[in-house]
Chains A and B, each alone.
Chain A
Amino acid sequence: MYQWDFYTVLQSFDLFLIGLWTTFLYTVGSISIGIVVGLAVCFARLAKLQSVRLLARSYQELFRCTPLLVQIMWAYYALPLLTGYSISNTTAGLLTLSLYVGAFYSEIFRGGINAIERGQTEAGLATGLSRVQVMHHIILPQAIKKMLPAFINQSVIQVKNTSLLYAISVAELTYMTSVVNSETYRPMEAFTLAAVMYFLMLFPLTQFADRFEKNLRQSD
Protein backbone atom coordinates (compact mmCIF):
# COMPACT_ATOMS: atom_id res chain seq x y z
CA MET A 1 0.00 0.00 0.00
CA TYR A 2 1.36 3.37 -1.05
CA GLN A 3 2.11 5.75 1.79
CA TRP A 4 0.85 9.23 0.83
CA ASP A 5 3.05 12.04 2.11
CA PHE A 6 1.77 15.44 1.10
CA TYR A 7 3.75 17.12 3.87
CA THR A 8 7.03 16.94 1.93
CA VAL A 9 5.67 18.43 -1.30
CA LEU A 10 3.64 21.05 0.53
CA GLN A 11 6.87 22.40 1.95
CA SER A 12 7.60 23.48 -1.60
CA PHE A 13 4.17 25.04 -1.99
CA ASP A 14 5.72 28.38 -2.97
CA LEU A 15 7.13 26.66 -6.09
CA PHE A 16 3.63 25.51 -7.01
CA LEU A 17 2.38 29.06 -6.54
CA ILE A 18 5.09 30.41 -8.83
CA GLY A 19 4.07 27.80 -11.40
CA LEU A 20 0.40 28.59 -11.00
CA TRP A 21 1.02 32.31 -11.43
CA THR A 22 3.18 31.75 -14.51
CA THR A 23 0.54 29.48 -16.04
CA PHE A 24 -2.03 32.17 -15.35
CA LEU A 25 0.12 34.85 -17.01
CA TYR A 26 0.79 32.76 -20.13
CA THR A 27 -2.89 31.90 -20.36
CA VAL A 28 -4.12 35.47 -20.07
CA GLY A 29 -1.34 36.77 -22.32
CA SER A 30 -1.79 34.23 -25.09
CA ILE A 31 -5.60 34.42 -24.97
CA SER A 32 -5.48 38.22 -25.22
CA ILE A 33 -3.09 38.21 -28.15
CA GLY A 34 -4.97 35.25 -29.60
CA ILE A 35 -8.25 37.19 -29.60
CA VAL A 36 -6.64 40.05 -31.53
CA VAL A 37 -4.99 37.63 -33.98
CA GLY A 38 -8.19 35.62 -34.25
CA LEU A 39 -10.32 38.68 -35.05
CA ALA A 40 -7.83 39.89 -37.65
CA VAL A 41 -7.66 36.48 -39.31
CA CYS A 42 -11.43 36.07 -39.12
CA PHE A 43 -12.02 39.35 -40.96
CA ALA A 44 -9.24 38.46 -43.40
CA ARG A 45 -11.15 35.25 -44.16
CA LEU A 46 -14.27 37.34 -44.84
CA ALA A 47 -12.35 39.86 -46.99
CA LYS A 48 -13.18 40.66 -50.59
CA LEU A 49 -9.63 40.12 -51.90
CA GLN A 50 -8.96 36.48 -52.65
CA SER A 51 -5.25 36.76 -51.87
CA VAL A 52 -6.05 38.03 -48.37
CA ARG A 53 -8.47 35.16 -47.82
CA LEU A 54 -5.90 32.66 -49.04
CA LEU A 55 -3.19 34.04 -46.75
CA ALA A 56 -5.50 33.84 -43.74
CA ARG A 57 -6.53 30.34 -44.68
CA SER A 58 -2.89 29.19 -44.98
CA TYR A 59 -2.09 30.57 -41.55
CA GLN A 60 -5.08 28.80 -40.01
CA GLU A 61 -4.24 25.46 -41.55
CA LEU A 62 -0.53 25.71 -40.72
CA PHE A 63 -1.20 26.24 -37.03
CA ARG A 64 -4.20 23.95 -36.74
CA CYS A 65 -2.65 20.99 -38.51
CA THR A 66 0.70 20.79 -36.73
CA PRO A 67 1.14 19.79 -33.07
CA LEU A 68 1.60 22.64 -30.63
CA LEU A 69 4.64 20.94 -29.10
CA VAL A 70 6.34 20.85 -32.49
CA GLN A 71 5.54 24.53 -33.00
CA ILE A 72 7.01 25.42 -29.61
CA MET A 73 10.19 23.46 -30.27
CA TRP A 74 10.43 24.91 -33.74
CA ALA A 75 10.08 28.50 -32.51
CA TYR A 76 12.65 27.99 -29.77
CA TYR A 77 15.28 25.79 -31.45
CA ALA A 78 14.79 26.14 -35.23
CA LEU A 79 13.67 29.74 -35.72
CA PRO A 80 16.93 31.20 -34.27
CA LEU A 81 18.95 29.15 -36.77
CA LEU A 82 16.83 30.53 -39.57
CA THR A 83 16.93 34.19 -38.51
CA GLY A 84 20.28 34.35 -36.75
CA TYR A 85 18.67 35.89 -33.67
CA SER A 86 18.25 33.89 -30.51
CA ILE A 87 14.83 33.99 -28.90
CA SER A 88 14.03 33.64 -25.19
CA ASN A 89 11.84 30.80 -24.01
CA THR A 90 9.34 33.41 -22.77
CA THR A 91 8.99 34.97 -26.22
CA ALA A 92 8.96 31.64 -28.05
CA GLY A 93 6.36 30.27 -25.65
CA LEU A 94 4.04 33.26 -25.68
CA LEU A 95 4.33 33.73 -29.43
CA THR A 96 3.54 30.12 -30.27
CA LEU A 97 0.67 29.79 -27.81
CA SER A 98 -0.89 33.01 -29.10
CA LEU A 99 -0.61 32.14 -32.78
CA TYR A 100 -1.86 28.63 -32.10
CA VAL A 101 -4.97 29.69 -30.21
CA GLY A 102 -5.51 32.59 -32.62
CA ALA A 103 -5.91 30.13 -35.48
CA PHE A 104 -8.65 28.28 -33.60
CA TYR A 105 -10.33 31.46 -32.33
CA SER A 106 -10.51 32.86 -35.86
CA GLU A 107 -12.58 29.87 -36.98
CA ILE A 108 -14.83 30.16 -33.92
CA PHE A 109 -15.38 33.87 -34.61
CA ARG A 110 -16.06 33.24 -38.27
CA GLY A 111 -18.54 30.51 -37.45
CA GLY A 112 -20.36 32.84 -35.05
CA ILE A 113 -20.57 35.63 -37.61
CA ASN A 114 -21.69 33.31 -40.41
CA ALA A 115 -24.41 31.90 -38.15
CA ILE A 116 -26.21 35.26 -38.19
CA GLU A 117 -28.64 35.28 -41.08
CA ARG A 118 -28.14 37.59 -44.04
CA GLY A 119 -31.40 39.38 -43.40
CA GLN A 120 -29.88 41.01 -40.32
CA THR A 121 -27.15 42.62 -42.40
CA GLU A 122 -29.65 43.66 -45.04
CA ALA A 123 -31.98 45.22 -42.49
CA GLY A 124 -29.08 47.27 -41.11
CA LEU A 125 -27.82 48.32 -44.51
CA ALA A 126 -31.34 49.19 -45.65
CA THR A 127 -31.67 51.76 -42.85
CA GLY A 128 -28.46 53.47 -43.96
CA LEU A 129 -25.93 51.94 -41.58
CA SER A 130 -22.41 51.40 -42.93
CA ARG A 131 -20.93 47.90 -43.10
CA VAL A 132 -18.79 48.65 -40.04
CA GLN A 133 -21.83 49.85 -38.08
CA VAL A 134 -23.78 46.75 -39.11
CA MET A 135 -20.94 44.54 -37.88
CA HIS A 136 -20.56 46.48 -34.63
CA HIS A 137 -24.19 47.05 -33.65
CA ILE A 138 -26.06 44.15 -35.24
CA ILE A 139 -23.87 41.17 -36.13
CA LEU A 140 -21.22 41.00 -33.41
CA PRO A 141 -23.57 41.35 -30.41
CA GLN A 142 -25.53 38.36 -31.72
CA ALA A 143 -22.50 36.41 -32.92
CA ILE A 144 -20.64 36.71 -29.61
CA LYS A 145 -23.47 34.97 -27.81
CA LYS A 146 -23.40 32.15 -30.32
CA MET A 147 -19.63 31.71 -30.24
CA LEU A 148 -19.13 31.97 -26.49
CA PRO A 149 -19.45 28.25 -25.61
CA ALA A 150 -16.90 27.25 -28.26
CA PHE A 151 -14.67 30.14 -27.23
CA ILE A 152 -14.66 29.04 -23.59
CA ASN A 153 -14.01 25.46 -24.62
CA GLN A 154 -10.98 26.48 -26.66
CA SER A 155 -9.75 28.65 -23.79
CA VAL A 156 -9.97 25.71 -21.38
CA ILE A 157 -7.79 23.73 -23.76
CA GLN A 158 -5.46 26.70 -23.92
CA VAL A 159 -4.90 26.69 -20.13
CA LYS A 160 -3.84 23.05 -20.34
CA ASN A 161 -1.70 23.69 -23.41
CA THR A 162 0.53 26.03 -21.40
CA SER A 163 1.87 22.86 -19.78
CA LEU A 164 3.71 22.09 -23.04
CA LEU A 165 6.00 25.01 -22.27
CA TYR A 166 7.59 22.52 -19.89
CA ALA A 167 9.59 21.41 -22.93
CA ILE A 168 11.41 24.74 -23.16
CA SER A 169 11.80 25.20 -19.38
CA VAL A 170 9.23 27.93 -18.84
CA ALA A 171 8.47 27.98 -15.12
CA GLU A 172 4.77 27.20 -15.43
CA LEU A 173 2.85 24.81 -13.22
CA THR A 174 3.88 21.53 -14.87
CA TYR A 175 7.53 22.54 -15.02
CA MET A 176 7.53 23.67 -11.40
CA THR A 177 5.84 20.43 -10.40
CA SER A 178 8.66 18.49 -12.01
CA VAL A 179 11.12 20.67 -10.08
CA VAL A 180 9.35 19.76 -6.85
CA ASN A 181 9.35 16.13 -7.89
CA SER A 182 13.07 16.06 -8.52
CA GLU A 183 13.71 17.69 -5.16
CA THR A 184 11.36 15.54 -3.11
CA TYR A 185 11.11 12.27 -5.10
CA ARG A 186 7.36 12.32 -4.42
CA PRO A 187 5.89 12.15 -8.00
CA MET A 188 2.56 10.79 -6.77
CA GLU A 189 1.87 13.74 -4.50
CA ALA A 190 3.47 16.39 -6.69
CA PHE A 191 1.61 15.52 -9.88
CA THR A 192 -1.64 14.80 -8.06
CA LEU A 193 -1.45 18.25 -6.54
CA ALA A 194 -0.76 19.79 -9.97
CA ALA A 195 -3.72 17.94 -11.46
CA VAL A 196 -5.99 19.17 -8.67
CA MET A 197 -4.85 22.73 -9.28
CA TYR A 198 -5.57 22.54 -13.00
CA PHE A 199 -8.92 20.97 -12.27
CA LEU A 200 -9.95 23.64 -9.78
CA MET A 201 -9.06 26.33 -12.29
CA LEU A 202 -10.98 24.81 -15.19
CA PHE A 203 -13.99 23.07 -13.69
CA PRO A 204 -15.85 26.34 -12.96
CA LEU A 205 -15.20 27.45 -16.54
CA THR A 206 -16.64 24.33 -18.16
CA GLN A 207 -19.63 24.52 -15.81
CA PHE A 208 -20.23 28.11 -16.83
CA ALA A 209 -19.99 27.21 -20.51
CA ASP A 210 -22.50 24.38 -20.08
CA ARG A 211 -24.96 26.57 -18.24
CA PHE A 212 -24.57 29.37 -20.75
CA GLU A 213 -25.19 27.02 -23.64
CA LYS A 214 -28.33 25.68 -21.98
CA ASN A 215 -29.66 29.21 -21.43
CA LEU A 216 -28.92 30.06 -25.02
CA ARG A 217 -30.88 27.09 -26.28
CA GLN A 218 -33.85 28.02 -24.10
CA SER A 219 -33.90 31.64 -25.22
CA ASP A 220 -33.90 30.70 -28.90
Chain B
Amino acid sequence: MSTILRVENLTKYFDSHLVLDGINLEVNNQDILAVIGPSGSGKSTLIRCMNMLELPSSGSIVFDGKQVINAFKSNENGIGTGELRRRVGMVFQHFNLYPHRTVLENVTQAPILVNKESVQDATTHAKELLESVGLVEKIHEFPNHLSGGQKQRVAIARALAMRPNLLLLDEVTSALDPELVGEVLQVIKRLANQGMTMVIVTHEMAFAGDVANKVIFMEDGQIKESGSPAEILVTPSSERLKLFLSRHLR
Protein backbone atom coordinates (compact mmCIF):
# COMPACT_ATOMS: atom_id res chain seq x y z
CA MET B 1 0.00 0.00 0.00
CA SER B 2 1.44 3.35 -0.94
CA THR B 3 1.34 6.19 1.52
CA ILE B 4 -0.65 9.24 0.42
CA LEU B 5 -0.20 11.41 3.51
CA ARG B 6 2.35 11.35 6.30
CA VAL B 7 2.40 13.57 9.37
CA GLU B 8 5.81 13.86 11.02
CA ASN B 9 6.49 15.26 14.49
CA LEU B 10 3.71 17.76 14.07
CA THR B 11 3.26 20.35 16.80
CA LYS B 12 0.91 23.27 16.84
CA TYR B 13 0.71 26.16 19.25
CA PHE B 14 -2.10 28.69 19.50
CA ASP B 15 -0.14 31.53 21.09
CA SER B 16 1.58 29.74 23.96
CA HIS B 17 -1.00 26.96 24.20
CA LEU B 18 0.17 23.60 22.86
CA VAL B 19 -2.68 21.95 20.90
CA LEU B 20 -0.76 19.31 18.95
CA ASP B 21 2.18 17.64 20.60
CA GLY B 22 4.39 15.53 18.34
CA ILE B 23 1.91 13.81 16.08
CA ASN B 24 3.11 11.06 13.75
CA LEU B 25 0.79 9.14 11.47
CA GLU B 26 0.44 7.68 8.00
CA VAL B 27 -2.53 7.46 5.70
CA ASN B 28 -2.24 4.86 2.93
CA ASN B 29 -4.29 4.80 -0.23
CA GLN B 30 -7.79 3.49 0.45
CA ASP B 31 -7.31 3.86 4.19
CA ILE B 32 -10.15 5.17 6.23
CA LEU B 33 -8.67 6.70 9.33
CA ALA B 34 -11.08 7.68 12.09
CA VAL B 35 -9.86 10.22 14.64
CA ILE B 36 -11.68 10.13 17.96
CA GLY B 37 -11.18 11.86 21.29
CA PRO B 38 -12.73 14.36 23.68
CA SER B 39 -13.37 17.91 22.51
CA GLY B 40 -10.28 20.05 22.84
CA SER B 41 -8.02 17.08 22.22
CA GLY B 42 -6.71 18.59 18.97
CA LYS B 43 -8.59 16.39 16.46
CA SER B 44 -9.90 19.26 14.36
CA THR B 45 -6.59 21.12 14.47
CA LEU B 46 -4.84 17.97 13.26
CA ILE B 47 -7.16 17.46 10.30
CA ARG B 48 -6.96 21.18 9.45
CA CYS B 49 -3.16 20.95 9.41
CA MET B 50 -3.45 18.20 6.81
CA ASN B 51 -4.59 20.73 4.19
CA MET B 52 -2.73 23.67 5.75
CA LEU B 53 -5.81 25.59 6.90
CA GLU B 54 -3.80 25.62 10.11
CA LEU B 55 -0.07 26.04 9.68
CA PRO B 56 2.07 23.62 11.70
CA SER B 57 4.31 25.27 14.30
CA SER B 58 6.90 22.57 13.65
CA GLY B 59 7.12 19.16 12.02
CA SER B 60 5.93 18.42 8.55
CA ILE B 61 3.19 17.14 6.32
CA VAL B 62 4.27 14.93 3.42
CA PHE B 63 1.74 14.45 0.65
CA ASP B 64 2.25 11.87 -2.09
CA GLY B 65 5.94 11.67 -1.21
CA LYS B 66 6.51 15.41 -1.31
CA GLN B 67 7.03 17.86 1.52
CA VAL B 68 4.17 20.38 1.89
CA ILE B 69 5.47 23.97 1.89
CA ASN B 70 3.87 27.16 3.16
CA ALA B 71 3.46 28.77 -0.26
CA PHE B 72 0.60 28.64 -2.75
CA LYS B 73 2.62 27.42 -5.71
CA SER B 74 4.57 24.18 -5.70
CA ASN B 75 8.32 24.53 -6.28
CA GLU B 76 11.51 22.47 -6.05
CA ASN B 77 11.22 22.45 -2.24
CA GLY B 78 7.88 20.71 -2.27
CA ILE B 79 4.17 20.83 -2.88
CA GLY B 80 2.33 24.14 -2.45
CA THR B 81 -0.97 24.65 -0.66
CA GLY B 82 -2.71 25.29 -3.99
CA GLU B 83 -1.87 21.86 -5.39
CA LEU B 84 -2.31 20.16 -2.01
CA ARG B 85 -5.84 21.50 -1.60
CA ARG B 86 -6.69 20.71 -5.20
CA ARG B 87 -5.94 17.08 -4.44
CA VAL B 88 -7.25 16.93 -0.87
CA GLY B 89 -10.94 17.65 -0.39
CA MET B 90 -12.46 18.87 2.86
CA VAL B 91 -15.92 18.80 4.34
CA PHE B 92 -16.65 21.04 7.33
CA GLN B 93 -18.84 20.73 10.39
CA HIS B 94 -20.84 23.82 9.39
CA PHE B 95 -20.99 22.97 5.66
CA ASN B 96 -19.69 26.41 4.60
CA LEU B 97 -21.69 26.37 1.38
CA TYR B 98 -21.71 29.62 -0.58
CA PRO B 99 -25.12 31.19 0.14
CA HIS B 100 -25.00 33.43 -2.94
CA ARG B 101 -24.55 30.49 -5.30
CA THR B 102 -26.95 27.72 -6.28
CA VAL B 103 -26.28 24.12 -5.34
CA LEU B 104 -24.93 23.46 -8.83
CA GLU B 105 -22.69 26.54 -8.77
CA ASN B 106 -21.35 25.55 -5.36
CA VAL B 107 -20.19 22.29 -6.86
CA THR B 108 -18.87 23.55 -10.21
CA GLN B 109 -17.01 26.63 -8.97
CA ALA B 110 -13.67 25.11 -8.05
CA PRO B 111 -13.44 22.72 -11.03
CA ILE B 112 -14.02 25.69 -13.34
CA LEU B 113 -11.78 28.19 -11.55
CA VAL B 114 -9.02 25.91 -10.36
CA ASN B 115 -8.97 22.95 -12.74
CA LYS B 116 -10.04 25.07 -15.74
CA GLU B 117 -12.75 22.58 -16.63
CA SER B 118 -15.28 23.80 -19.18
CA VAL B 119 -18.62 24.86 -17.72
CA GLN B 120 -20.22 21.99 -19.60
CA ASP B 121 -17.87 19.31 -18.28
CA ALA B 122 -18.04 20.68 -14.75
CA THR B 123 -21.84 20.76 -14.90
CA THR B 124 -22.11 17.20 -16.20
CA HIS B 125 -19.80 15.94 -13.46
CA ALA B 126 -21.61 17.99 -10.78
CA LYS B 127 -24.96 16.54 -11.83
CA GLU B 128 -23.58 13.01 -11.55
CA LEU B 129 -22.24 13.75 -8.08
CA LEU B 130 -25.44 15.43 -6.93
CA GLU B 131 -27.39 12.49 -8.25
CA SER B 132 -25.18 10.11 -6.29
CA VAL B 133 -25.87 12.03 -3.07
CA GLY B 134 -29.60 12.10 -3.94
CA LEU B 135 -29.96 15.82 -4.60
CA VAL B 136 -30.27 16.11 -8.34
CA GLU B 137 -33.68 17.76 -8.05
CA LYS B 138 -32.19 20.54 -5.89
CA ILE B 139 -29.48 21.74 -8.26
CA HIS B 140 -31.02 25.15 -8.89
CA GLU B 141 -31.95 25.82 -5.26
CA PHE B 142 -29.95 28.09 -2.98
CA PRO B 143 -28.35 26.50 0.10
CA ASN B 144 -30.66 28.38 2.49
CA HIS B 145 -33.57 26.33 1.19
CA LEU B 146 -31.97 23.02 2.12
CA SER B 147 -32.01 21.01 5.35
CA GLY B 148 -28.74 20.49 7.22
CA GLY B 149 -28.37 16.96 5.90
CA GLN B 150 -28.94 18.13 2.35
CA LYS B 151 -26.42 20.95 2.80
CA GLN B 152 -23.80 18.52 4.02
CA ARG B 153 -24.42 16.21 1.07
CA VAL B 154 -23.93 19.16 -1.28
CA ALA B 155 -20.69 19.98 0.56
CA ILE B 156 -19.51 16.42 0.02
CA ALA B 157 -20.34 16.67 -3.68
CA ARG B 158 -18.46 19.98 -3.82
CA ALA B 159 -15.35 18.33 -2.39
CA LEU B 160 -15.66 15.31 -4.70
CA ALA B 161 -16.00 17.53 -7.76
CA MET B 162 -12.25 18.16 -7.61
CA ARG B 163 -11.65 14.38 -7.87
CA PRO B 164 -9.51 14.41 -4.71
CA ASN B 165 -6.97 11.72 -3.77
CA LEU B 166 -7.91 12.18 -0.13
CA LEU B 167 -11.01 13.46 1.61
CA LEU B 168 -10.92 15.13 5.04
CA LEU B 169 -14.17 15.06 7.01
CA ASP B 170 -14.18 17.31 10.07
CA GLU B 171 -17.07 16.37 12.38
CA VAL B 172 -19.44 16.47 9.44
CA THR B 173 -22.47 15.26 11.39
CA SER B 174 -21.96 17.23 14.61
CA ALA B 175 -24.09 20.20 13.53
CA LEU B 176 -26.96 18.05 12.27
CA ASP B 177 -30.26 17.21 13.90
CA PRO B 178 -30.10 13.54 14.97
CA GLU B 179 -32.63 12.40 12.38
CA LEU B 180 -30.47 13.86 9.57
CA VAL B 181 -27.22 12.17 10.59
CA GLY B 182 -28.07 8.88 8.89
CA GLU B 183 -28.40 10.25 5.36
CA VAL B 184 -24.95 11.83 5.54
CA LEU B 185 -23.28 8.77 7.05
CA GLN B 186 -24.84 6.66 4.32
CA VAL B 187 -23.17 8.81 1.64
CA ILE B 188 -19.80 8.48 3.41
CA LYS B 189 -20.29 4.75 3.75
CA ARG B 190 -20.82 4.48 0.01
CA LEU B 191 -17.66 6.49 -0.66
CA ALA B 192 -15.81 4.10 1.63
CA ASN B 193 -17.10 1.14 -0.37
CA GLN B 194 -15.90 2.84 -3.56
CA GLY B 195 -12.38 2.97 -2.13
CA MET B 196 -12.13 6.68 -1.34
CA THR B 197 -9.24 7.46 1.01
CA MET B 198 -10.54 9.42 3.99
CA VAL B 199 -9.61 10.93 7.32
CA ILE B 200 -12.70 11.24 9.48
CA VAL B 201 -12.87 13.23 12.70
CA THR B 202 -16.03 12.03 14.39
CA HIS B 203 -18.02 11.50 17.54
CA GLU B 204 -20.02 8.69 15.94
CA MET B 205 -18.17 5.73 17.44
CA ALA B 206 -20.39 3.07 15.91
CA PHE B 207 -19.89 4.61 12.50
CA ALA B 208 -16.14 4.85 13.00
CA GLY B 209 -16.03 1.18 13.91
CA ASP B 210 -18.13 0.36 10.89
CA VAL B 211 -16.23 2.16 8.10
CA ALA B 212 -12.70 2.77 9.37
CA ASN B 213 -9.78 0.40 9.02
CA LYS B 214 -7.65 2.45 11.44
CA VAL B 215 -8.66 4.42 14.50
CA ILE B 216 -6.61 6.85 16.56
CA PHE B 217 -7.60 8.13 19.97
CA MET B 218 -6.35 11.61 20.80
CA GLU B 219 -6.11 13.43 24.07
CA ASP B 220 -4.23 16.57 25.10
CA GLY B 221 -2.80 17.00 21.62
CA GLN B 222 -1.26 13.53 21.51
CA ILE B 223 -2.17 10.25 19.90
CA LYS B 224 -2.80 8.07 22.95
CA GLU B 225 -3.78 4.89 21.15
CA SER B 226 -3.98 3.72 17.58
CA GLY B 227 -4.92 0.50 15.90
CA SER B 228 -7.72 -1.36 14.20
CA PRO B 229 -11.31 -0.49 15.13
CA ALA B 230 -11.53 -3.73 17.08
CA GLU B 231 -8.40 -2.92 19.11
CA ILE B 232 -9.43 0.62 19.88
CA LEU B 233 -13.17 0.42 20.19
CA VAL B 234 -13.73 -3.10 21.46
CA THR B 235 -10.66 -3.85 23.56
CA PRO B 236 -9.27 -0.47 24.65
CA SER B 237 -6.18 -0.71 26.81
CA SER B 238 -5.99 2.62 28.67
CA GLU B 239 -8.38 3.73 31.39
CA ARG B 240 -8.82 7.09 29.66
CA LEU B 241 -10.02 5.49 26.45
CA LYS B 242 -12.33 3.12 28.33
CA LEU B 243 -13.86 6.09 30.11
CA PHE B 244 -14.19 8.03 26.88
CA LEU B 245 -15.86 5.13 25.12
CA SER B 246 -18.22 4.43 27.97
CA ARG B 247 -19.52 7.97 27.56
CA HIS B 248 -19.83 7.79 23.80
CA LEU B 249 -20.98 4.26 23.08
CA ARG B 250 -24.57 4.35 24.11
Contact = CB atoms under 8 A, between A and B. Distances in A.
Interface of A: 119-120, 122-131, 133, 137-138, 141-142, 145, 219
Contacts of A141: 100
Given A119-B92, A128-B83, 10 more contacts: A119-B96, A120-B96, A120-B98, A124-B110, A126-B51, A126-B89, A126-B90, A127-B158, A128-B162, A137-B109
A137 B110 CA distance: 10
Contact of B99 (A125, A128, A130, A142): A142
A127 B96 contact: no
Contacts of A120: 96, 98
Contact of B85 (A119, A127, A138, A219): A127
B5 interface: no
Contacts of A137: 109, 113
B94 interface: yes
Contacts of A129: 110, 113-114
A134 to B, nearest CB: 10
A219 to B, nearest CB: 8
A141 B98 CA distance: 10
Interface in B75-106: 81-83, 85-86, 89-90, 92, 94, 96-100
A142 B142 CA distance: 14
B166 interface: no
Contacts of B53: 122, 125-126
A62 B115 CA distance: 45
Interface string B210-222: 0000000000000
B159 interface: yes
Interface of B: 51, 53, 72, 81-83, 85-86, 89-90, 92, 94, 96-100, 109-110, 113-115, 144, 155, 158-159, 162
Contacts of A130: 72, 82
Contacts of B99: 142
A123 B109 CA distance: 11
A123 B158 CA distance: 10
17 contacts: A119-B92, A119-B96, A123-B158, A125-B53, A125-B85, A126-B92, A126-B159, A127-B86, A127-B89, A127-B110, A127-B158, A128-B82, A129-B113, A131-B72, A138-B98, A142-B98, A142-B99
Top 8 closest pairs, chain A to chain B, by CB: A127-B110, A128-B86, A123-B96, A119-B96, A126-B90, A128-B114, A128-B85, A141-B100
Contacts of B113: 129, 133, 137
A123 B97 contact: yes
A127 B109 contact: yes
B79 to A, nearest CB: 12
Question: Chain A interface secondary structure, helix, strand, loop or mixed?
Answer: helix
Nearest to A128: B86
A119 B100 contact: no
Contacts of B114: 127-129, 133
B41 to A, nearest CB: 21
A129 B115 CA distance: 10
Contacts of A124: 110
Contacts of B94: 119
Given A125-B53, A127-B85, A127-B109, A142 B96 contact: no
Contact of A122 (B89, B92, B159): B92
Contacts of A126: 51, 53, 85, 89-90, 92, 159
B92 A123 contact: yes
A93 to B, nearest CB: 38
Nearest to B105: A137
Nearest to B155: A123
A126 B159 CA distance: 9
Nearest to A134: B113
Nearest to B99: A142
Nearest to B85: A128
